[in-house]
Amino acid sequence: MIQVITPTARNIGALFVNRHCVSSTSLCRGLATLEYNTHDLHDDDSHRNHNTTANQHCAHSLLILGKPGGGKGTISGKILADFPQFRHVSTGDELRQHVRKQTQLGMEAKRFMDEGCLVPDNIMIRMVMGDAVEAIKNGQSLLLDGFPRTMEQAVALDKSLDVDMVINLCIPNETIIERISDRWIHPASGRVYNYSYRPPKVVGKDDETGEPLVQREDDKPENVMKRLQKYEQATAPLVKYYEEKGVIQTFSGTMSDVIYPEVKKWLDNQLAEDAAATV
Ligand code: ADP
């Protein structure tokens, strides 16, 4: 259950020091009333810090928007290497983990994922908000990769925390289709290969086990087209939504290695501006 809190301006009340540097209690609105069931996945996540003491932190929430197969994961990986203060929440990875572990959520989500459809908002909101709330309670900054993808998800997110930076990756459809058709996986381990830049040693076989590689159901060309169409309908409107909030920056191109230095420069500037504003 998500408590509905009237959306407010960025500086909600006296708790905000500035728009980014907030106490974790104020960044995460209405925390006490949020109930999410992610225990079936996280029970064994002993590496995570479960200290939930509310502390004063410069917590940031950064989103990464972009077409399916458009390099969100790659750019996120580079961001995390340079900015380790961010905790990565990737909805695609998390959903696949649920599917592998055959949790109830995973079983519900699988049929939508296999068909190249978006998983329903209520499932996604329940899954992501648990992570987001936990990170913020711990005073961590958050990098949300793959969420929100619909206006309903964006509105739900806004009710719980302030999104302060959004990266919009703009990649041509042809590049994406080419890239995805080259992607094959080893289902048992989740190892991912790409015939253009990370080919297996033997065509069609996993390097470690020699077992056959398969194409993810949602990477099959007919499903990729469906996902791109869904993106246009459901996710593209979010660009305007975040433009109106003045928090989004678009990066266009075809190669992550070329796009990323620009992303880093922008992120460095954003974080430096915040740091300056808090002294
Ligand atoms: P891609 O960006 O290539 O779609 P992801 O790994 O991010 O890959 O997501 C895989 C699938 O998981 C999506 O096709 C969709 O079915 C589901 N999914 C991920 N994030 C969301 C979301 N925020 N809302 C609905 N479905 C989602």
Statement: residue 39 has pLDDT above 80: no
Look at 128 and 196; give whichever has higher pLDDT. 128
The identity of residue 77, as a single letter, is: G
As a whole number of angstroms, the distance between CA 252 and CA 97 comes to: 30
Which atom of ligand 1 lies nearest, measured to the CA of 227? 14
- State the pLDDT confidence band at 52, using cuts at 50, 70 and 90: very low
Per residue in 213-271, pLDDT (tens digit) is 999 877 888 888 888 998 999 998 999 999 999 999 999 999 999 999 999 999 999 99
- State the pLDDT confidence band at 19, using cuts at 50, 70 and 90: very low
**How far does the centroid of ligand 1 lie from the alpha carbon of residue 211, in Å?**
26
Statement: residue 50 has pLDDT above 70: no
Sign of CA dihedral 50, 51, 55, 57: negative
**Residue 15 CB neighbours (<10 A):** 11
pLDDT confidence of residue 3: 28
Statement: residue 276 has pLDDT above 70: yes
Q: Of these residues, 72, 87, 159, 230, which one is catalytic?
A: 72
Annotated catalytic, 101? no
pLDDT confidence of residue 53: 31
**Residue 111 CB neighbours (<10 A):** 10
Per residue in 136-149, pLDDT (tens digit) is 778 889 999 999 99
pLDDT confidence of residue 279: 67
Statement: residue 48 has pLDDT above 60: no
Statement: residue 76 has pLDDT above 70: yes
Name the average pLDDT for the chain: 79
Which atom of ligand 1 lies nearest, measured to the CA of 72? 2
Annotated catalytic, 227? yes
Per residue in 165-222, pLDDT (tens digit) is 999 999 999 999 888 888 899 989 989 898 888 899 999 999 999 999 999 877 888 8
Q: What angle do CA 77, 83, 88 make, to 5 degrees?
A: 50
Statement: residue 14 has pLDDT above 50: no
- Residues tagged in the binding site annotation: 69-74, 91, 96, 117-119, 146-149, 153, 183, 192-193, 216, 227, 256
Residue 20: CB partners within 8 Å, gap ≥ 6? Answer: 58, 59, 60, 164, 274, 277, 278
pLDDT confidence of residue 18: 31
Which residue, judged by its Cα, is nearest atom 12 of ligand 1?
Answer: 92
Annotated catalytic, 216? yes
Q: What are phi and psi of 196, to 5 degrees?
A: -85, -40
Q: Which helix (H) or strand (E) holds 60?
A: none
For residue 22, give the 3-state DSSP assignment. Answer: strand
Q: Is 120 in the pocket of ligand 1 (CB under 6 A)?
A: no
- State the pLDDT confidence band at 6, using cuts at 50, 70 and 90: very low
pLDDT confidence of residue 180: 85
Say what percent of the chain tops pLDDT 70. 79
Annotated catalytic, 72? yes
Which atom of ligand 1 lies nearest, measured to the CA of 92? 6
pLDDT confidence of residue 58: 61
- State the pLDDT confidence band at 56, using cuts at 50, 70 and 90: very low
Q: Is 147 in the pocket of ligand 1 (CB under 6 A)?
A: yes
pLDDT confidence of residue 42: 44
Q: Which of 150, 168, 218, 228 to mutate to test the pocket of ligand 1 (most atoms within 8 A of CB)?
A: 218
